[in-house]
């Protein structure tokens, strides 16, 4: 009775909700549950031991550290990229706009191989850095970071772009007439508007970086304790048929991703409440 | 020379502005005295907002001069022209509280903290929004937002206040209150103000002076009363006040002809509708018409009468004897506004003159 009273006037709720739950269960929830089930084959002590082994811990550090740096770089680069694409007219703009998604479309292994090629001490870019600054790019955490920047840049650019497009010039004009300088307008008027999109782009890029495998394995060199990333450890466990071990490490990664994404979701809802006037 | 140089606070001389092929302003000349409240009135696309933006320095004209307080400001940035601007959708900064919004212009000018605090509270009191300083713009009503936008523009003490369609986004009832409020506020502050509107009632009610614009040009400038009773162009005659176009007005008795294919504009105030025998004074010169419709307008009745093949509108009081649809009535037309080329000629009923001689 109550349901009928509150019947939504927008049709199709039953159908779309059913499809959503089915797809979500089949593709997301059930595989994730199987992770837990597999890991549960280990006793809590074994589980804890598996995920806190020194080699595993240092792989987490490598993964999280490089992803964090890469996501931060992407925030700056993605913002600049979105800014240029929204604010200015220049020849080749549409082309540039089109190739932003290339890192999504390209098989990550292809990206990994070509980046490795460029950044080894014999490669075009790696050579310059090695000879001028004595810095090795490939087979170091710097190389991993480069690969993760490449993979993550569309996230930030594409989350900020629509926000900037929607941003009304009236706000800037109002600030200009009140005498604000360009940097002040950017920091106090424009920046607060794009922070939610920036953070959302940052979290997506970061979460993707932590889980990234294909583009990183070639460039990282996979030196244990130094450039070995967590997803690679999972792969090697799998190759050793240690499924429980692999899923345990994966479960820890999953928890981390969940925490990052939830933090973002909470932040977004706080901000949107303020703007929609419900706070 | 100095005699004719009357001191205007704002002057525009021969201003032209084009957007691509679209001529948004054509040879615009405006002179506004200090402390006046002026309306820029026109339909959408008539170039009124462009003029406002040119004055504020948000657009620069292709040619022409802008003078504020006698100084040429064409090359002065908007922030140094001493203007405040209230945007149509207010453009309040969404992520700042009411307090921070109002304080924005003062902080930019690096005023001392105490001064800013006093000024913001003074303005909050002025706009009747005390206690709302911690709210965000989206937590305010439309009227409050408009007043906060007003306060933000006023905070740095501008000498010239520009308002772009200040009442457009507010619902009808509050709009009337806000009009009165704004008029009172601006009169008290003695700040020269220009507001853009497409609503003739708003312009007539609020402004001391109205500039009527059409197709990027100024049609006429004058007080609301002047524009109403002495329109100089057909556009102004039709745009200001209610009007019915009448062709072949010569068909009406006591009106001399000013040419063959001229049309005239008739306002409801120029038409009196009497029941047969109700009025003695105009019986001789009135003509007979048939009531087509009676429309209740709240404070009066609009009577639509067919006479000489045209339907005219006239007003009758609520308490006057009732006229029915289909009733034969006496119709007396006082005056036509005759369109003579690009000019308007006021043509009075000639029987009025004769009668006044008799009396």
- Beta carbons of A175 and B152 less than 8 Å apart: no
Q: Tokens 């450039």 — which residue? A: A227
Residues of A with CB below 8 A from B59's CB?
none
pLDDT of B5 reads 55
pLDDT bracket for residue B3 (50, 70, 90): very low
* Burial group, residue A275, by CB count within 10 angstroms (0-12, 13-18, 19+): middle
- Give the one of A168, A171, A176 whose C-beta lies nearest to B78's C-beta: A176
- Percent of chain B as helix, strand, coil, to the nearest 5: 30, 35, 40
Closest C-alpha among B191, B195, B2 to residue B87: B195
Of A39-48, A65-74, B4-13, B237-246, the range with the lowest mean pLDDT is B4-13
Structure confidence by residue, pLDDT tens digits, A210-225: 989 888 988 888 888 8
Q: A63: helix, coil or strand?
A: helix
- What is the overall mean pLDDT for chain B? 87
Q: How far apart are CA A154 and CA B73, in angstroms?
A: 45
- Beta carbons of B79 and A184 less than 8 Å apart: no
pLDDT of B266 reads 87
- Give the one of B93, B108, B156 whose C-beta lies nearest to A171's C-beta: B93
Chain A residues with CB-CB distance to B under 8 A? 168, 170-171, 173-181, 184, 188-189, 192-193, 274-277, 279
- Beta carbons of B152 and A276 less than 8 Å apart: no
- Beta carbons of B94 and A174 less than 8 Å apart: no
Search chain B and give the residue with CA nearest A167. B91
So what CATH class is B244-358?
mainly beta
- Give the one of B91, B95, B138 whose C-beta lies nearest to A174's C-beta: B91
Of B18-27, B60-69, B330-339, the range with the lowest mean pLDDT is B330-339
User: Cβ(B181)–Cβ(B150) under 8 Å?
Assistant: no
- Give the one of A173, A180, A276 whose C-beta lies nearest to B58's C-beta: A173
Distances (CA, A) of B309 to B276, B305, B312, B337, B355: 20, 10, 10, 19, 27
Structure confidence by residue, pLDDT tens digits, B231-259: 999 899 888 888 888 887 777 877 777 77
- Give the one of B89, B108, B136 whose C-beta lies nearest to A184's C-beta: B108
CA terminus-to-terminus distance, chain B: 49
- Give the one of A177, A181, A275 whose C-beta lies nearest to B94's C-beta: A275
Q: How many CB pairs under 8 A join A and B?
A: 72
Search chain B and give the residue with CA nearest A195. B95
Search chain A and give the residue with CA nearest B154. A178
Residues of A with CB below 8 A from B85's CB?
173-174, 177
Distances (CA, A) of A170 to A167, A173, A176: 9, 5, 10
pLDDT bracket for residue A1 (50, 70, 90): very low
Asked if the model's pLDDT at residue A262 lies above 70, the reply is yes
Tell me which CATH homologous superfamily contains domain B10-232: P-loop containing nucleotide triphosphate hydrolases (3.40.50.300)
Q: Mark A229-259 as b/e (b = at least 16 C-beta within 10 Å).
A: bbbbbbeebeeeeeeebbbbbbbbbbebbee
Residue B257 neighbours by CB under 8 Å, 6+ apart: B250
- Beta carbons of A180 and B104 less than 8 Å apart: yes
Half-sphere exposure of A41 (CA within 13 A, CB side): 12
User: Cβ(A201)–Cβ(A155) under 8 Å?
Assistant: yes
Q: Tokens 């790019």 — which residue? A: A137
- Give the one of A171, A173, A178 whose C-beta lies nearest to B105's C-beta: A178
Is the overall model pTM greater than 0.90, yes or no?
no
Q: How far apart are CA A194 and CA A173, in angstroms?
A: 18
**Of B152 and B249, the one with more pLDDT:** B152
Search chain B and give the residue with CA nearest A182. B108
Residues of A with CB below 8 A from B80's CB?
179
Query: Domain-by-domain residue ranges, chain B?
Result: 10-232, 244-358
Structure confidence by residue, pLDDT tens digits, A14-59: 889 999 999 999 888 898 888 888 888 888 888 888 888 898 999 9
Q: How far apart are CA B108 and CA B206, in angstroms?
A: 32
- Beta carbons of B96 and A175 less than 8 Å apart: no
Residue B265 neighbours by CB under 8 Å, 6+ apart: B234, B237, B238, B243, B244, B245, B246, B336, B337, B338, B339, B344
Task: Specify whether the backbone of A42 is left (phi greater than 0), alpha (psi in -120 to 50) or beta.
Answer: beta
Taking residues B154-166, report their average pLDDT: 93
- Beta carbons of A193 and B156 less than 8 Å apart: no
Q: A89: helix, coil or strand?
A: coil
* Burial group, residue A21, by CB count within 10 angstroms (0-12, 13-18, 19+): exposed
Structure confidence by residue, pLDDT tens digits, A166-221: 998 999 999 999 999 999 999 999 998 899 999 999 999 999 999 898 889 888 88
Residues of B with CB below 8 A from A186's CB?
none
Chain B residues with CB-CB distance to A under 8 A? 56-58, 77-80, 83-85, 87-89, 91, 93-96, 104-105, 108-109, 136, 138-139, 152-153, 156
Asked if the model's pLDDT at residue B220 lies above 90, the reply is yes
């Amino acid at each position: 009775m109550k349901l009928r009273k509150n019947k939504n006037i927008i049709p199709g709720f039953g159908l779309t909700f059913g499809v959503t739950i089915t797809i979500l269960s089949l593709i997301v929830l059930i595989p994730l549950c199987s992770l837990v089930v597999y890991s549960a084959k280990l006793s809590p002590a074994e589980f804890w031991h598996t995920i806190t082994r020194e080699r595993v811990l240092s792989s987490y550090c490598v993964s999280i550290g490089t992803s964090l740096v890469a996501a931060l770089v992407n925030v700056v680069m993605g913002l600049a990229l979105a800014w240029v694409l929204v604010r200015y007219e220049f020849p080749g703009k549409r082309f540039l706009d089109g190739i932003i998604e290339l890192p999504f479309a390209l098989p990550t292994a292809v990206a990994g191989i070509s980046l490795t090629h460029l950044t080894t001490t014999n490669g075009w870019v790696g050579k310059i850095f090695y000879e001028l600054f004595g810095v090795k790019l490939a087979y170091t955490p710097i190389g991993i970071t480069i690969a993760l920047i490449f993979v993550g840049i569309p996230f930030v650019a594409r989350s900020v772009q629509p926000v900037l497009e929607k941003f009304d010039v009236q706000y800037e004009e109002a600030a200009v007439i009140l005498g604000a300088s360009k940097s002040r307008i950017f920091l106090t008027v424009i920046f607060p508007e794009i922070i939610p999109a920036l953070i959302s782009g940052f979290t997506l890029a970061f979460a993707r970086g932590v889980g990234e495998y294909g583009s990183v394995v070639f460039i990282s060199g996979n030196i244990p304790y130094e450039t070995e990333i967590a997803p690679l450890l999972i792969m090697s466990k799998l190759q050793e048929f240690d499924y429980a071990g692999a899923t345990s490490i994966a479960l820890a990664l999953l928890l981390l991703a969940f925490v990052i994404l939830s933090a973002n979701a909470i932040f977004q809802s706080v901000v949107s409440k303020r703007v929609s006037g419900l706070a | 020379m100095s005699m004719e140089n009357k001191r205007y606070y704002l002057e525009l001389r021969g201003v032209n502005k084009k957007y691509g092929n679209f001529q948004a302003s054509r040879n615009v000349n405006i002179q506004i005295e200090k402390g006046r409240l002026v309306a820029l009135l026109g339909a959408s696309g008539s170039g009124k907002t462009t003029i406002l933006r040119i004055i504020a320095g948000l657009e620069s004209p292709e040619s022409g001069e802008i003078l504020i307080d006698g100084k040429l400001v064409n090359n002065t940035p908007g922030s140094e022209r001493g203007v405040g601007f209230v945007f149509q959708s207010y453009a309040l900064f969404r992520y700042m509280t009411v307090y921070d919004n109002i304080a924005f212009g003062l902080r930019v000018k690096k005023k001392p903290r105490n001064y800013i605090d006093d000024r913001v509270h003074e303005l909050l009191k002025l706009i009747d929004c005390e206690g709302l300083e911690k709210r965000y713009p989206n937590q305010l009503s439309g009227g409050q937002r408009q007043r906060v936008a007003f306060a933000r523009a006023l905070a740095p003490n501008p000498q010239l206040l520009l308002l772009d369609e200040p009442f457009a986004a507010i619902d009808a009832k509050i709009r009337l209150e806000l009009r009165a409020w704004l008029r009172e506020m601006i009169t008290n502050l003695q700040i020269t103000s220009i507001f853009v509107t497409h609503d003739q009632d708003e312009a007539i009610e609020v402004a001391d002076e109205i500039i009527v614009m059409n197709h990027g040009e100024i049609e006429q400038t004058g007080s609301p009363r002047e524009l109403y009773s002495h329109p100089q162009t057909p556009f102004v005659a039709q745009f200001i006040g209610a009007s019915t176009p009448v062709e072949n007005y010569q068909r009406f008795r006591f009106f001399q002809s000013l040419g063959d294919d001229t049309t005239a504009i008739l306002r409801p105030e120029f038409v009196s509708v009497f029941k047969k025998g109700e009025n003695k004074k105009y019986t001789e010169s009135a003509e007979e018409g048939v009531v087509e419709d009676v429309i209740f307008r709240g404070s009066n009745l609009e009577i639509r009468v067919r006479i000489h093949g045209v339907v005219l509108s006239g007003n009758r009081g609520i308490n006057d004897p009732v006229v029915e649809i289909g009733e034969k009535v006496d119709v007396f037309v006082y005056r036509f506004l005759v369109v003579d080329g690009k000019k308007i000629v006021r043509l009075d009923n000639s029987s009025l003159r004769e009668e006044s001689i008799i009396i």
